[in-house]
């Protein structure tokens, strides 16, 4: 059962017919890219079926097999593949690093999977004009590594540094931990080379007229709004083969240094940089802290991670996580923000740190940070005091044995000398390089899905976190989601706090029967709650199912999407089941699931705190 | 919402009382650490690993070194197979997915599937990178997948001859390469026969003529250090590493038991491996098959110890800029097998834990420091590191049965590694593995950089030019 399947009339070709079609498609694609870079072998095709969230999309760990997988090397080859698909009446979908069910086939024997792995060059880093031009398979981690060498940094999507820069910038939302200083992927796209759904190569932004990529909005034509809009078309509107993304200043060294071994690397926090875990008391304090950090403009990263994924990031496996999570106060660390500060010189650094201290003093907060020993001790004491004010000194005392055990273990991993700064180092690695994010979400049960996450004001995002947690609690009580204390809101500020997002993560075992239904139920219910509590469009307001619900509430944006899709993709060649399907009608199974959710909704009480 | 005390209580009660039992591990995983030789093989089966393989989120972390360690775009990959073939199937995740597809009967083990399975150097890079975040056993899955392929369909054509050689000659090479004792003719001082400390020279050092000089330097160094040892010469059994990599577990198990029996009967208490492939197999795979209490060390550990004690003194200057290539088999693949008998449980709703905690080999406990200390001890040597070193070193392409079945892949991988070595400005790339030295040398033609063994470099400094066996120029650049 699945939301997508239930909306489609799935027709499977007879086996012989399917084999003939695969063979024909494979031969023609080989003429375009060479035999070596095309496959129709079932074992290889299957590795494109197994996708994150497939259990929710199609009720199985496996999406459908594509007809073929093809690895082009140039934009011209991509265009030729797209034109061939149009001519033959078959669909195509491109992936780069390819992480998610939206990249895979949703019907059998219907689609060519274009894997852009071979297009993996950083074409240019223009340090003077602060932009980079990349091909699809360049990851955030790779671009950041090279950007550091010329004094630049790049936004990395929250999914992690292993994911494609281009895919996030052109086709997804791409929120991340560094949004306060570097925005999010949607906002960083300066231009793109776009193979339209019919196979025309189009260059947009200033590149179209000047040959440079510094502006997405002219003097050449800007069609960013058309091909990606707010949330991206998730591969449903052609293929992107180059992207220019905005870069940001990096005040650190050309290469970061680190000590230790996997999974306990410790990055040396560069000079004039601060990595702090800040704490305040309650959601109101969190709201104030976020706004003041945004207004002050001192931070490179402001990120909120809930206690459970924070515990996962700090530990090597789930058993170790249980040890740490058993320390009574650890799962009470709700009101924390990770803050990274970078400065050009000592004077600027001192100013920025003083501002942070001032904010925390005003709010009665504290921090654990890589400060000189006396300051470290003072602010650590304030951190403990802030926490004990809420949870009580008894809980803090009860935590001591567990803490000692944890410190002993960390001392073994990192060395006693590094113990005071080890937490700051882990926060830094997680926040600055997006290198540890997946530990915090996939390891608990095997997978996760996420809800809420509107781009709104910070206190509205916090309101959304409360709503999301209360919806999720029902599923936790039924044992369907990992019991993370219900609050697993992750997100932060964007563009100096002009807007923000907090999404409510839910972790579960995807191998459990009906786990996909559970996840869809949760998403539907949180989407409903988002609308009812005026929380704006959530992360999951994408795809035809969600658009049916949210469109009428938001000026019928789905009608515009349909028009765009029909205008640019008259043959419906660009597989768009996660974007828009002009003929979409919900199937009976989905309707039944919706009714089940409507009959059994969680009660939301916004006066309740966590 | 769970209260503080509820969560604390739940977690503290421990996995057993709280959980719904997910699955009792199948026999291989619950096999006692040292099962008796009579009880049969106990390599993990595909089925026993499915609770781990089904957790692959396809995140692609297995394609890169741990992200914090990446130093350049040019050297940001960890997977030679994915670099060569490009399809997701050829990454660690891809092979885990293929394992799931085979288990669920979605695909058979036809020729194309078997190529996917065997177009891999088994270097363990994906396994190490994945385990930065998870506990998915990619390497174990790949061994199990190869074993399943072999069980159903036998070896690839290119591997069949290797197995025949193992069966008939006691080593994986063709008979015309000579005898494993031939190299001893120029080393009359070396004792041949059983002793408490046996140097297992390995088939690659003993039979590849261009690598014998390196082997002879090793035994001369051990002699100079006053190490009491013997070798077996022609009668030295093979560890059957190639059978393991090809998936021929029946043969591997039999030869493993034979080797242990032979050595134990000979009174051997310590095995010193010259070839790290033997070292990795003895430490990482023999314990699954056969019980023994012999100490297993690699020769670089013995030499490192001798340097520390002062029984070896590097005197002669070797003025070279050197980079060290970590052999996968001396590094991340050499970790000791850690048996585990237990259960997977779900607590706190959907949190997967193991009871008792399952140890995880993450590739970090390999032999990384000893070879670097050896090189640092040689006067004149300037040691420079490549971008990918230690547990996240890039493979040379010379392992996993790849050179035999997919020589172009092996050569391309070696070229990639030599490019990386060349980028350091080094004149010499030094390794401690005959397979790496062979494969890298074969790709070094036309390059400024030369390939040599760590024993050769140390011998030049300790023994001096007159007593060091110099590699033929062709052995440094074989093409």
Hey, is the C-beta of A142 within 8 angstroms of any chain B C-beta?
A: yes
Helix (H) or strand (E) holding A133: strand A131-134
pTM above 0.90, yes or no: yes
Q: Show the domain range for B419.
A: 15-476
Q: Which domains does chain A have, with CATH numbers?
A: 3-115 (3.30.43.10), 122-249 (3.30.465.10), 274-432 (no CATH)
Q: At what angle are helices A393-414 and A373-391 packed, to 10 degrees?
A: 140
Do the chains contact at B8 and A326, CB–CB below 8 Å?
A: yes
Give the three-class secondary structure for A92. Answer: strand
Q: Is residue B10 domain-resident?
A: no
Q: Is residue B383 domain-resident?
A: yes
Q: How confident is the model at residue A416 (pLDDT cuts 50, 70, 90)?
A: confident
Shortest distance, CA B406 to any CA of chain A (angstroms):
14
Q: Is residue B6 domain-resident?
A: no
Q: Round to whole Å and give the CA distance between A523 and A451.
A: 6
Q: Which residues of A touch B94 (CB under 8 A)?
A: 44, 47
Nearest by CB to B4, from A61, A146, A332: name it. A332
Structure tokens at A83: 């034109």
Nearest by CB to A47, from B54, B94, B350: name it. B94
Do the chains contact at A115 and B87, CB–CB below 8 Å?
A: yes
Q: Is residue B1 domain-resident?
A: no
SS (H, E, C) A469-537: HHHHHHHHHCCCCCCCCCCCEEEEEECCCCEEEEEEEEEECCCCCCHHHHHHHHHHHHHHHHHHCCCCC
Q: How confident is the model at residue A6 (pLDDT cuts 50, 70, 90)?
A: very low
Do the chains contact at A146 and B61, CB–CB below 8 Å?
A: no
Tokens 């063709």 identify what position? B174
Q: Would the ipTM clear 0.85, i.e. be above it?
A: yes
CA nearest to A92, candidates A223, A172, A195, A204: A195
Do the chains contact at B350 and A482, CB–CB below 8 Å?
A: yes
Structure tokens at A416: 């006693």
Q: Round to whole Å and give the CA distance between A19 and A25.
A: 10
CB atoms within 10 A of CB B286: 23
Shortest distance, CA A469 to any CA of chain B (angstroms):
9
- A451 backbone dihedrals φ, ψ, rounded to 5°: -135, 180
Do the chains contact at B87 and A71, CB–CB below 8 Å?
A: yes
CA nearest to A298, candidates A255, A359, A374, A256: A359
For chain B, what is the domain count? 1
Structure tokens at A406: 């944890």
Give the three-class secondary structure for A146. Answer: helix
- For residue B457, what are the contacts with CB-CB under 8 A and spacing of at least 6? B318, B320, B322, B375, B378, B381, B428, B430
Which of A35, A49, A50 has the highest number of chain B CBs within 10 A, making it the mutation to test binding with B? Answer: A50
Do the chains contact at A319 and B353, CB–CB below 8 Å?
A: yes
Q: Is residue B9 domain-resident?
A: no
Q: Round to whole Å and give the CA distance between A324 and A406.
A: 7
Q: Round to whole Å and give the CA distance between B373 and B306.
A: 11
Q: Is residue B153 domain-resident?
A: yes
CA nearest to A406, candidates A313, A321, A324: A324
Q: Is residue B55 domain-resident?
A: yes
Q: At what angle are helices B209-224 and B434-443 packed, to 10 degrees?
A: 140
Q: What is the mean pLDDT of residues B217-226?
A: 98
- For residue B310, what are the contacts with CB-CB under 8 A and spacing of at least 6? none
Shortest distance, CA A133 to any CA of chain B (angstroms):
14
Do the chains contact at A445 and B64, CB–CB below 8 Å?
A: no
Tell me what percent of the residues of chain A surpass a pLDDT of 70: 95
Do the chains contact at B113 and A97, CB–CB below 8 Å?
A: no
Task: Please state, rounded to an integer, the average pLDDT across all residues of chain A.
Answer: 92
Q: Round to whole Å and give the CA distance between A492 and A513.
A: 34
pLDDT at A49: 97
Q: What is the mean pLDDT of residues B133-142?
A: 95
Nearest by CB to A445, from B132, B351, B362: name it. B351
pLDDT at B474: 65
pLDDT at A606: 80
Q: Which residue has the higher pLDDT, B31 or A473?
A: A473
Which region among A201-210, A291-300, A466-475, B88-97 has the lowest average model confidence (pLDDT)?
A: A201-210
Structure tokens at A198: 């019919």
Hey, is the C-beta of A528 within 8 angstroms of any chain B C-beta?
A: no
Q: How confident is the model at residue B376 (pLDDT cuts 50, 70, 90)?
A: very high
Q: Which residues of B touch A71 (CB under 8 A)?
A: 86-87
Nearest by CB to B67, from A435, A442, A485: name it. A435
pLDDT at B25: 31
With 70 as the cut, is the pLDDT of residue A373 above it?
yes
Which region among A150-164, A400-414, A580-594, B325-339 has the lowest average model confidence (pLDDT)?
A: A580-594
Integer CA distances (angstroms), B412 to A209, B317, B428, in order: 41, 34, 19
Hey, is the C-beta of A164 within 8 angstroms of any chain B C-beta?
A: no
Do the chains contact at A47 and B346, CB–CB below 8 Å?
A: no
SS (H, E, C) chain B: CCCHHHHHHHHHHCHHHHCEEEEECCHHHHCCCCCCHHHCCCCCCHHHHHHHHCCCCCCCHHHCCCHHHCCCCCCCCCCHHHHHHCCHHHCHHHHHHHHHHHHCCCCCCCHHHHHHHHCCCCCCHHHHHHCCCCCCCHHHHHHHHHHHHHHHHCCCHHHHHHHHHHHHHCCCCCHHHCCCCHHHHHCCCCCECCCCEEEECCHHHHHCHHHHHHHHHHHHHHHHCCCCCEECHHHCCCCCHHHHHHCCHHHHHHHHHHHHHHHHHCCCCEEEECCHHHHHHHHHCHHHCCCCCCEEEEHHHHHHHHHHHCCCCCCCCCCEEEEECCCCCCCHHHCCCCCCCCEEEEECCCEEEEECCCCCCCCCCCCCHHHHHHHHHCCCEEEECCCCCHHHCCCCCCCCCHHHHCHHHHHHHHHHHHHHHHHCCCCEEEECCHHHHHHHHHHCCCCCCEEEEHHHHHHHHHCCCCCCCCCCHHHHCCC
pLDDT at A208: 60
Hey, is the C-beta of A122 within 8 angstroms of any chain B C-beta?
A: yes
Task: Please state, rounded to an integer, the average pLDDT across all residues of chain B.
Answer: 91
With 60 as the cut, is the pLDDT of residue A4 above it?
no
Shortest distance, CA A588 to any CA of chain B (angstroms):
28
Give the three-class secondary structure for A160. Answer: coil
Question: pLDDT of A521-555, one tens digit each?
Answer: 999 999 999 999 999 899 988 888 888 888 888 88
Which of A22, A43, A324, A508 has the highest number of chain B CBs within 10 A, making it the mutation to test binding with B? Answer: A43
Do the chains contact at B68 and A438, CB–CB below 8 Å?
A: no
Q: Is residue B4 domain-resident?
A: no
pLDDT at A82: 98
Q: Tell whether omega for the bond before A219 is within 30 degrees of 0, i.e. cis.
A: yes
Nearest by CB to A508, from B97, B350, B354: name it. B350
Do the chains contact at B362 and A263, CB–CB below 8 Å?
A: yes
Q: Which residues of A touch B19 (CB under 8 A)?
A: none
């Amino acid at each position: 059962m699945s939301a997508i399947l239930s909306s489609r009339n799935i027709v499977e070709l007879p086996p012989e017919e399917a084999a003939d079609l695969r063979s024909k498609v494979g031969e023609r694609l080989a003429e375009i890219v060479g035999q070596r870079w095309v496959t129709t072998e079932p074992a290889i095709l299957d590795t494109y079926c197994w996708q994150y969230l497939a259990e929710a999309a199609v009720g199985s760990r496996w999406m459908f097999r594509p007809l073929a997988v093809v690895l082009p090397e140039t934009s011209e080859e991509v265009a030729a593949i797209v034109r061939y698909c149009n001519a033959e009446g078959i669909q195509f979908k491109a992936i780069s690093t390819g992480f998610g069910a939206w990249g895979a086939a949703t019907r059998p024997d219907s689609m060519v999977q274009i894997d852009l792995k071979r297009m993996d060059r950083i074409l240019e880093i223009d340090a003077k004009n602060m932009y980079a031009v990349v091909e699809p398979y360049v990851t955030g981690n790779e671009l950041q590594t090279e950007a550091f060498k010329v004094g630049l940094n790049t936004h990395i999507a929250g999914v992690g540094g292993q994911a494609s820069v281009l895919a996030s910038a052109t086709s997804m939302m791409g929120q991340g931990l560094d949004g306060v200083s570097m925005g999010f992927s949607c906002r960083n796209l300066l231009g793109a080379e776009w193979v339209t759904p019919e196979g025309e190569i189009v260059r947009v932004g200033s590149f179209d007229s000047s040959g440079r990529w510094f502006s997405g909005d002219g003097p050449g034509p800007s069609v960013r709004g058309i091909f990606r809009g707010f949330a991206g078309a998730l591969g449903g509107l052609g293929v992107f083969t180059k992207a220019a993304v905005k870069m940001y200043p990096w005040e650190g060294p050309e290469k970061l240094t680190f000590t230790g071994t996997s999974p306990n690397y410790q990055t040396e926090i560069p000079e004039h940089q601060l990595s702090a875990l800040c704490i305040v008391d309650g959601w109101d304090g969190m709201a104030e802290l976020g706004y003041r950090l945004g207004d002050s403009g001192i931070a490179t990263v402001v990120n909120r991670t809930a206690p459970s994924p924070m515990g996962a990031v700090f530990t090597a496996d789930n058993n170790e996580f249980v040890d740490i999570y058993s320390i009574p106060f650890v799962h009470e660390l709700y009101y924390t923000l990770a803050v990274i500060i970078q400065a050009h010189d000592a004077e600027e650094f001192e100013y920025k740190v003083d501002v942070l201290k001032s904010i925390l003093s005003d709010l009665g907060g504290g921090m654990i940070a890589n400060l000189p020993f006396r300051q470290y001790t003072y602010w650590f004491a304030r951190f403990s005091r802030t926490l004990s004010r809420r949870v009580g000194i008894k809980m803090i005392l009860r935590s001591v044995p567990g803490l000692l055990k944890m410190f002993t273990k960390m001392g073994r991993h990192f060395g006693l000398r590094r113990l005071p700064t080890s937490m700051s180092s882990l926060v830094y690695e997680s926040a600055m390089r997006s290198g540890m994010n997946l530990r915090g979400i996939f390891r608990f049960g095997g997978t996760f899905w996420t809800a809420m996450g509107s781009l709104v004001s910070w206190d509205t995002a916090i309101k959304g976190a409360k709503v999301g947690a209360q919806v999720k609690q029902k599923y936790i009580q039924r044992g369907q989601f990992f019991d993370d204390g219900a609050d697993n809101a992750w997100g932060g500020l964007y563009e100096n706090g002009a807007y923000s997002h907090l999404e409510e993560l839910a972790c579960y075992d995807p191998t459990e029967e009906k786990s996909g239904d559970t996840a869809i139920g949760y998403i539907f219910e949180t989407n409903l709650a988002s609308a009812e509590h005026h929380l704006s469009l959530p992360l999951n307001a994408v795809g035809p199912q969600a658009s049916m619900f949210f469109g009428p509430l938001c000026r019928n944006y789905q009608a515009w999407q349909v028009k765009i899709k029909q205008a640019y993709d008259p043959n419906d060649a660009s597989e768009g089941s996660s974007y828009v399907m002009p003929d979409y009608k919900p199937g009976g199974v989905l309707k039944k699931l919706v009714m089940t959710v409507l009959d059994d909704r969680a009660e939301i009480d916004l006066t309740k705190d966590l | 919402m769970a209260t503080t005390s509820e969560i604390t209580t739940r977690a503290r009660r421990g996995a057993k009382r709280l959980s719904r039992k997910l699955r009792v591990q199948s026999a291989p995983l619950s096999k006692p650490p040292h099962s008796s030789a009579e009880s049969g093989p106990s390599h993990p089966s595909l089925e026993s690993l499915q609770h781990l393989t089904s957790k692959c989120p396809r995140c692609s972390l297995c394609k890169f070194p741990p992200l914090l360690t990446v130093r350049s775009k040019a050297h940001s990959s960890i997977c030679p197979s994915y670099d060569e073939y490009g399809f997701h199937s050829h990454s660690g995740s891809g092979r885990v997915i293929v394992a799931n597809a085979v288990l669920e009967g979605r695909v058979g083990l036809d020729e194309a599937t078997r190529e996917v399975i065997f177009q891999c150097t088994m270097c363990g890079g994906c396994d190490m990178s994945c385990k930065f975040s998870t506990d998915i056993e990619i390497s174990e899955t790949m061994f199990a997948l190869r074993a399943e392929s072999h069980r159903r369909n036998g070896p690839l054509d290119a591997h069949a001859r290797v197995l025949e050689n193992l069966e008939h000659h006691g080593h994986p090479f063709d008979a015309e390469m000579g005898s494993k004792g031939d190299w001893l003719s120029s080393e009359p001082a070396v004792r041949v026969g059983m002793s408490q400390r046996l140097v297992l020279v390995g088939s690659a050092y003993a039979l590849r003529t261009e690598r014998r000089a390196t082997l002879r330097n090793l035994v001369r160094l051990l002699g100079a250090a006053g190490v009491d040892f013997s070798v077996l010469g022609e009668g030295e059994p093979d560890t059957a590493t190639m059978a393991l990599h090809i998936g021929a577990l029946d043969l591997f198990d039999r030869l493993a038991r034979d080797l242990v029996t032979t050595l134990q009967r000979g009174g051997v208490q310590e095995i010193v491996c010259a070839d790290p492939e033997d070292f990795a197999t003895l430490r990482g795979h023999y314990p699954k098959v056969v019980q023994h209490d012999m100490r297993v060390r690699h020769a670089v550990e013995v030499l490192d110890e001798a340097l520390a004690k002062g029984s070896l003194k590097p005197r002669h200057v070797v003025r070279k800029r050197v980079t060290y290539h970590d052999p996968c088999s001396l590094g991340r693949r050499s970790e000791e097998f850690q048996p585990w008998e237990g259960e997977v449980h779900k607590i706190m709703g959907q949190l997967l834990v193991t009871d008792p905690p399952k140890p995880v080999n993450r590739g970090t406990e390999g032999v990384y420091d000893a070879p670097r200390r050896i090189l640092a001890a040689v006067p004149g040597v300037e040691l420079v590191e490549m971008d990918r070193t230690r547990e996240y070193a890039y493979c040379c392409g010379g392992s996993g049965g790849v050179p035999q079945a997919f020589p172009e892949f092996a050569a391309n991988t070696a070229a990639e590694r030599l490019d990386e070595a060349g980028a350091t400005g080094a004149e010499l790339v030094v390794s401690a593995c005959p397979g790496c030295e062979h494969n890298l040398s074969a790709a070094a033609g036309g390059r400024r950089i030369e390939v040599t063994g760590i024993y050769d470099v140390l011998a030049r400094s300790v023994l001096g030019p007159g007593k060091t066996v110099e590699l033929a120029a062709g052995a440094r650049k074989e093409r």
